[in-house]
Structure 1
Amino acid sequence: MSDGDGLTDPQFRSRFPQNLVPQWFALKDSLKASANIDFKIDYLSLGQWSNTDVGQGHAAGGMARIYGTWQAFEHGGLTAKLEHRTAYTSVAPQFFGFDSGAQSITGTAFNDIQLALTNLFWTQRAESGAWTVQVGQIDVTDFVDVYGLVSPYTAFQNLAFNTNPTINAPNQGLGIAGGVRLHQNLYAIASIADANGDPTQPNFDVFKDGETFKSFEIGYMSSQDRIYFDNIHLTVWQSDGADDGSRKDDWGVAGSASWFFDNRWMPFLRAGFSQGKAALYKKTVSAGLGLYTRETDLFGVGLNWSDPGDAFDKDQYTAEIFYRFTVSPNFAITPSVQFIANPALNPDQDGLALFGLRGRVAL
């Protein structure tokens, strides 16, 4: 194992694709310096295969994204993200777990919603950094029950190890969120967002129907600049039911503890409970470890227990192992293996194995 770590002493293997189109990256650097515009274009692809007794046995999909920020003022700026998500196969990876017989989202975010505006919000910060407010088209999973391995684009693929699967988080929509530093090591975050958010058709319907998702989180951090690395928090949330009866009122509590030791080791323990039927699970507990190397590779392993609800006879168990091979800051390949014991939607099969391969290239 190399000495050093991938946070303070990264050692990338290549400059791909910077070395192929240096003029493009020079243009981006110029825009950032002259107009405070910083953006990326990337493409991600995910393929998954399983030994299921039911369903298709394979799924694949991809997404193209353009996203960035315009720092209009010293303490205020605009963030935007436009995505196009598509399935290559009849089943999108996000729904491959269900198709294979498990009550599980095995390919988080890799769906088939096509063109979507997932972010368009203004951020305002205090000069001292004591508070931050965001308002506009927001994604609550960017700040609700977040920890250092939450991203399905760079870390785990199963929702059991992303945003807590007992939280009935809405899709991206109109909302407002704010965070405040209560003390050097204490913070609080609160949000209210459209419970019927639809990034494919952004709208202001929340002012008409009044159906919202609310969250409040209080947490402990080692310092403000490491809030996503060294973090222990408790989150409570509530989601309104739909007037048409398609969704009932739901609420729950989630807790998370993760710490980044030596900028290399990140153990985590996460749990959640929900009261209602809208969330994926009623109860869940996850534990695992992320290990970063000097080459910015990331090895991850996670174990999860979940109670999928009263309609199912058995608890479901999930394990995931992945290795993100980082070629350059803009190119990575991630093979993974998931195993699901007692797949809730196919009780005739004792266990389900899924193999995955994810790639990402950014410009």
Structure 2
Amino acid sequence: MRLLIALTLSLTGSFAPSLPALAQTGGLSGPSSVEADLTPGDGLTDPQFRSTFPRNIAPGWFAWKEGLAEKEFKFNIDYLALGQSSGSDIGEGKAGGGIARFYGGWQATELGSLTFKIEHRHAYGAVAPQFLGLDGGALAITGTAFNDNGTMLTNLFWTQRGANGNWTLQVGQIDVTDFVDVYGLVSPYTGFQNLAFNTNPTINAPNPGLGIAGGVKLGSNFYAVASVADANADPTQPDFKVFDHGNLFKSLEIGYTSGFDRIYFDNVHLTLWHADAADDGSRAEDYGAAFSAAWFIDNQWMPFVRAGWSKGTAALYDRSFSTGIGYYGRNTDLAGLGLNWAQSRGVPGTQFTTELFYRFSISPGLQITPSLQYIHNPLTSTQDGFALLGIRARVVF
């Protein structure tokens, strides 16, 4: 199934995304998924890199990897680092953290494959970047995914596809943020860093855990995606307790795309979700809806509009509206500008967030991304607002 493949684009033009080889494997995978991360250069064409780092320091390693890929086993080892500095009047004022990841996939049969991802998330100091906004008095996740959770089993699932390419099924340790309410700029590893512009902050998405997800084509332009996953999942201690407590996260998405080879660049969808209350009382029942529209113009510009509503008992916000634009430049560079308006039940006021970033692709295996965030009227402090400067680096082996 060519539905739900990260960055699976078949375009023309000097800097247009192209259909990566992994698109042939199918799957429920967004821009932050294993399939997307295994695609060199995020699937963009016509790179003119002058640097080949880190390939130039370990050519034998990459040749060995290419040999395994010819035998249908593909993997990467990468490291991401994020440093942020806050202008808030309170809190630590700075944060740093890293993520070491080992991920890949094995195309075991023509229609079936195994996907895995193991990672270690850690902070360099007292505060991890994910929490710097909260530490500074804003109701904001300013460094999505860069926490201090330690070793995690993020993915270990089987994908099965229909022979006619019309459906895909995944079963195992899944991360619903790989496919729930995603668009082309959703990845915190290669795109925006603030949760306001990643998976919708009104969705109480669970941590990676046991689940099942499926996608199906509904004609030539429409599709549906559904999932059921462990609402209490803890990827640092994966287990099968979902069968004991039955606390589940459920989602259903109906979407439209100009073509299934452009699903994350030309996409309009509505997502409905529901999360059961935790039996131990730590989490109340929550549910909501999210809307997203993004369209690729001239194969370079991607304006987007995203909104969400939730009951508001567990998600970060109960009302959120985001808009912005992305620009794909030379050598797979990427720029993004996002604006967000949000409210949270029980907290008076409205918070506004702006993020601007530019991802420099130094080589196919090295990216540097400076960013600037500004949070106006932070909901959990009396400040007028404060800025955060950040720089993210990613190296792929």
For normalisation by structure 2, the TM-score amounts to 0.89
In structure 2, the partner of 1:172 is: 208
2:77 match: secondary structure = strand
2:298 match: secondary structure = coil
- Displacement of 1:313 in angstroms is 1.9
- Displacement of 1:139 in angstroms is 0.1
In structure 1, the partner of 2:394 is: 360
Matches within 5 A, 1:89-238: 89-238=125-274
Q: Which of 5, 20, 26 does residue 15 from structure 2 map onto?
A: 5
Q: For 1:10 and 1:308, how far apart are their aligned partners in 2?
A: 43
Q: For 2:148 and 2:348, how far apart are their aligned partners in 1?
A: 31
In structure 2, the partner of 1:268 is: 304
Q: For 2:168 and 2:16, how far apart are their aligned partners in 1?
A: 28
- Displacement of 1:229 in angstroms is 1.4
- Displacement of 1:294 in angstroms is 2.4
Aligned residue identity for 1:316: Q
CA contact (8 A) 2:119 2:154 kept: yes
- Displacement of 1:6 in angstroms is 4.7
In structure 2, the partner of 1:246 is: 282
2:148 match: secondary structure = coil
Q: Which of 345, 348, 354 does residue 380 from structure 2 map onto?
A: 345
1:226 match: secondary structure = coil
Provide, for residues 60-82 of structure 1, a one-character-per-residue CA deviation record: whole Å limited to 9, x for no partner: 00010000000000110000000
In structure 1, the partner of 2:295 is: 259
1:73 and 2:109 are equivalent in the alignment? yes
Q: For 2:95 and 2:380, how far apart are their aligned partners in 1?
A: 18
CA contact (8 A) 2:86 2:132 kept: no
1:97 match: secondary structure = helix
Aligned residue identity for 1:298: L
Q: Which segment is superposed worse, 210-219 or 272-281?
A: 272-281
Q: Which of 338, 348, 352 does residue 317 from structure 1 map onto?
A: 352
CA contact (8 A) 2:112 2:159 kept: yes
CA contact (8 A) 1:11 1:296 kept: no
Aligned residue identity for 1:23: G
In structure 1, the partner of 2:56 is: 19
In structure 2, the partner of 1:29 is: 66
Identity among equivalent pairs (%): 64
Provide, for residues 50-99 of structure 1, a one-character-per-residue CA deviation record: whole Å limited to 9, x for no partner: 11111100000001000000000011000000001000010111111100
For normalisation by structure 1, the TM-score amounts to 0.97
Q: For 1:127 and 1:244, how far apart are their aligned partners in 2?
A: 43
1:85 and 2:121 are equivalent in the alignment? yes
CA contact (8 A) 1:12 1:296 kept: no
Q: For 1:325 and 1:165, how far apart are their aligned partners in 2?
A: 27
Unmatched runs of 5 consecutive residues or more in structure 2:
1-12, 18-44
- Displacement of 1:224 in angstroms is 1.2
Aligned residue identity for 1:359: A
- Displacement of 1:126 in angstroms is 1.2
Aligned residue identity for 1:176: I
Q: For 2:50 and 2:385, how far apart are their aligned partners in 1?
A: 38
CA contact (8 A) 1:219 1:234 kept: yes
Q: For 1:13 and 1:143, how far apart are their aligned partners in 2?
A: 34
Q: Which segment is superposed worse, 257-266 or 230-239?
A: 257-266
Q: For 1:138 and 1:76, how far apart are their aligned partners in 2?
A: 16
In structure 2, the partner of 1:330 is: 365
Matches within 5 A, 1:298-313: 298-309=334-345, 311-313=346-348
Aligned residue identity for 2:380: L
Number of aligned pairs?
A: 358
Q: Which of 318, 322, 326 does residue 286 from structure 1 map onto?
A: 322
Q: For 2:287 and 2:50, how far apart are their aligned partners in 1?
A: 46
- Displacement of 1:263 in angstroms is 1.9
Q: For 1:308 and 1:107, how far apart are their aligned partners in 2?
A: 19
Aligned residue identity for 2:313: K
Q: For 1:13 and 1:68, how far apart are their aligned partners in 2?
A: 27
Q: For 1:307 and 1:45, how far apart are their aligned partners in 2?
A: 30
Q: For 1:362 and 1:312, how far apart are their aligned partners in 2?
A: 41
Deviant stretches of 4+, over 3 Å: none
Q: For 2:292 and 2:179, how far apart are their aligned partners in 1?
A: 13
- Displacement of 1:203 in angstroms is 0.4
User: What root-mean-square deviation, in Å, do the aligned CA atoms of Structure 1 and Structure 2 show?
Assistant: 0.9
